[in-house]
Structure 1
């Protein structure tokens, strides 16, 4: 629930408060009318975390034989889980794995002998490493899958590769080859064509994972994500069949989600700067990244103070992740700028007096009362205007 950070205090004027009226000076401090910029800041509640968990598009079939610990970060080339003791590997990309990648059956027959004789020589540089490198540093910093599944077979052959003798082509090939090269397995041209050289690199990669060197990538062997992921809740147990909801994940950057009132969400504009208040009293900078398009009605059965206003989720990112420390989940506050008045005359709110005939006024240092029109209240000050108000004049703060 929003709470405007402004406190008003009004004193009482004399029996007559017309502009220019005089009265004996009263005790109390005086302050000058100053020209400044007033900014209204509003605070709302939020929740620090990693955002909503989403299911990983696991397409491997079989029995789940290994799962990572919740909270684990997996990078490109790292193992997400094992199904039938075969690793399901994370790669980066936006196109989902929708078909098997490999040489067509005709091309496979023509190169089987050559690939078999050269595979060991070209694959020796990997030395069974699991970071996806062939003697080159791993630019992705991926984790190390546990070797295993050496006796497991490939998932089919040639599916989706077209007619016999044809070469497999497509954007999915380009995406896969880009990942293979980023992991250090080179010797082929990164393009939309899966060639014999691509297959040889795949065999070296498969050897590092402890898999049979088939040169073919099954539809369930990899999962694509736009970047590294943080493992969330597992939807299955060890020994259970792999399902679409076998593993859930989030991004690796902490963010804040605010359920903002749909009636007061004008501040929630993508790119808007906010200040996040942490439980330890420190403040960090944030930026609105996204605003939900669907309002959600409040849950029934809340307390008397609960608002019945529908809310929309507002996601706020934190650029400086180190500023959050080790916190992974915590209630926080989010302060944003509401209205702003630039270059206006202001006085402390405590300087306002209530005039007998209505409205507000100020008491001058010599005891006169002048009527003023009030504007924005913010930061303990109030915008004032009127023909008798000028910058620098001293006004009294009533006791």
Structure 2
């Protein structure tokens, strides 16, 4: 009798342990690796406007009024995407990609000479970046809205600046780090038209010039 009772107790305990293990396994949230990896650039990149595009598309008139010029940048790696000669690259558009990381054209006269991140030294390059983020619609300008909770475009990187950077990064398929690396952006005072490619897709770059552009203006 005692042996039978002991056997029943052992079986009940074993069954209870099995239930606990099953519940523990099924209740453990699975980590989605994809949440930490930006969507591939190739599926999100926005092509530049084509001067010779279809008639039903909106055509950007580009007036070339300057010589061809090489665009230099500090980024290093393998070229994974390039535009075509003749493409007009507007502000906010990807110029090319290195290791699937886009290099974006933004409006400004100061070259991108350092990384821009929270708690770094103030500077006019910060205001230049913030003005572009406002113009692209990733954050509201306090000077326009009058709302002190909106971004103040100045020389200082604030948490709101970082938030706008992250939103912009996600929009072009980058991981939202809130940090703009020196090679992520090329500032130019005017839009450009691609005149020549100096490196082919698959080629390696270690700074220098990936492409040449014709300088001009848009109408």
Between stretches 93-102 and 243-252, larger displacement belongs to: 243-252
Spell out the pairing of 1:1-399 with structure 2 (5 A cutoff).
51-104=66-119, 161=120, 168-186=121-139, 187-242=150-205, 243-252=207-216
Following the alignment from structure 1 to structure 2, what is the Cα–Cα distance between the partners of residues 50 and 73?
A: 14
Structure 1 unpaired stretches of 5+? 1-48, 105-160, 162-167, 255-320, 322-399
Shift of 1:57: 2.0
Question: What SS does structure 2 have at the residue aligned with 1:227?
Answer: coil
Shift of 1:94: 0.7
Shift of 1:245: 2.0
Question: What SS does structure 2 have at the residue aligned with 1:172?
Answer: helix
Following the alignment from structure 1 to structure 2, what is the Cα–Cα distance between the partners of residues 253 and 217?
A: 26
Following the alignment from structure 2 to structure 1, what is the Cα–Cα distance between the partners of residues 168 and 72?
A: 22
Q: Which has the higher helix share?
A: 2
Q: 1:214-263 deviations in whole A, cap 9, x for unaligned? A: 11100000001111100111111111112412111112459xxxxxxxxx
Is the radius of gyration larger for structure 1 or structure 2?
1
Question: What SS does structure 2 have at the residue aligned with 1:58?
Answer: strand
Following the alignment from structure 1 to structure 2, what is the Cα–Cα distance between the partners of residues 60 and 74?
A: 19
Question: What SS does structure 2 have at the residue aligned with 1:245?
Answer: strand
Q: TM-score, normalised by structure 2?
A: 0.63
Superposition RMSD in Å: 1.9
Following the alignment from structure 2 to structure 1, what is the Cα–Cα distance between the partners of residues 67 and 161?
A: 37
Q: TM-score, normalised by structure 1?
A: 0.35
Paired positions, count: 146
- Preserved contact between residue 206 and residue 212 of structure 1 (Cα < 8 Å): yes
Q: 1:264-299 deviations in whole A, cap 9, x for unaligned? A: xxxxxxxxxxxxxxxxxxxxxxxxxxxxxxxxxxxx
